[in-house]
């Protein structure tokens, strides 16, 4: 969130775009000149971008300068290797892509049906991710499902982390989601049968029935 918020500042966004478009690391002086900023202003915002995980720093001496008396290495900036993404409400399309790719690979290697491979991969992933979680509701909160009490001892899931995919491919994605949550339930010591279908518009396709 800090990284996304950082780009809300116009000067930081311009500096980030300048450095991201460069073929090599950029020094603060060059960045300041390119954008018409005071050197101190450019330096402040560049270091803030580093702090927020959007840029990385490296130090190099100017070409042809080495040894004693050649001066200190220049501080240069380049885009950080890590990716930054955010969505509101929470979405987890990376997880969906990982599960679908794993299912296709398994089906191709074993000759099994893709649907069966997807359910198995999803179940195992849910079980692995929920291992050590404080409880099923806590796990689902962390995964973006937004669990809410249904007034009967169960839970409704106010958000679907795979919303856009589920809209276009409900049978495939909802089966994947159900298996994922069943694996998570098993890891949290809950009965897998507590994961039940839900047809309320605007909510996740799964709900958690009372114990």
DSSP H/E element including 20: helix 10-20
Q: Does residue 84 fall inside a structural domain?
A: no
Host domain of residue 169: 93-208
Q: Does residue 173 fall inside a structural domain?
A: yes
Residues of the chain with pLDDT under 50: 65, 68-69
**Is 107 found in the same domain as 69?**
no
Q: Does residue 87 fall inside a structural domain?
A: no
Q: What is the pLDDT of residue 190?
A: 94
Q: What is the pLDDT of residue 5?
A: 64
Q: What is the pLDDT of residue 6?
A: 67
**Is 60 found in the same domain as 113?**
no
Q: What is the pLDDT of residue 88?
A: 53
Quick check: 204 and 173 in contact, CB under 8 A? no
Written as six digits, the tokens of 205 are 């396709």
Interval 8-34: pLDDT, tens: 788 888 999 999 888 889 999 999 999
Q: What is the pLDDT of residue 187?
A: 95
Q: What is the pLDDT of residue 66?
A: 52
Q: What is the pLDDT of residue 149?
A: 94
Residue 206, strand partner residues: 197
**Is 67 found in the same domain as 100?**
no
Contacts with 118 (C-beta within 8 Å, 6 or more apart), sequence order: 99, 100, 103, 172, 175, 176, 179
Considering its fold, how many domains does the chain have in total? 2
Q: What is the pLDDT of residue 186?
A: 96
Interval 128-160: pLDDT, tens: 999 988 899 999 998 889 999 999 999 999 999
DSSP assignments along 122-173, one per residue: HHHHHHHHHTT-S-HHHHHHHTT--EEE-SSS-EEE---TTHHHHHH-HHHH
**Is 103 found in the same domain as 24?**
no
CATH of residue 17: 1.10.10.10
């Amino acid at each position: 969130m800090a990284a996304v918020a950082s780009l809300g500042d116009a000067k930081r966004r311009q500096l980030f775009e300048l450095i991201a478009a460069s073929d090599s690391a950029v020094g603060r002086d060059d960045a300041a000149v390119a954008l018409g900023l005071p050197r101190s202003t450019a330096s402040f915002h560049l270091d803030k971008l580093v702090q927020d995980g959007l840029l990385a720093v490296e130090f190099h001496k100017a070409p042809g300068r080495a040894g004693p008396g050649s001066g200190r290495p220049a501080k240069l900036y380049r885009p950080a290797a890590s990716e930054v993404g955010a969505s509101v409400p929470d979405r987890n399309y990376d997880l969906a892509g990982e599960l679908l790719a794993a299912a296709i690979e398994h089906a191709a290697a074993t000759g099994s049906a893709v649907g069966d491979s997807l359910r198995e991969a999803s179940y195992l992933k849910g079980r692995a991710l929920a291992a050590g979680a404080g409880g099923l509701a806590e796990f689902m909160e962390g995964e973006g499902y937004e669990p809410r009490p249904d007034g009967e001892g169960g839970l409704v899931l106010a958000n679907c982390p795979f919303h856009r995919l589920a809209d276009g491919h409900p049978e495939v994605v909802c089966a994947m989601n159900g298996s994922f949550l069943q694996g998570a339930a098993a890891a949290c010591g809950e009965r897998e049968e507590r994961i039940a279908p839900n047809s309320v518009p605007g909510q996740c396709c799964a709900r958690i029935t009372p114990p």
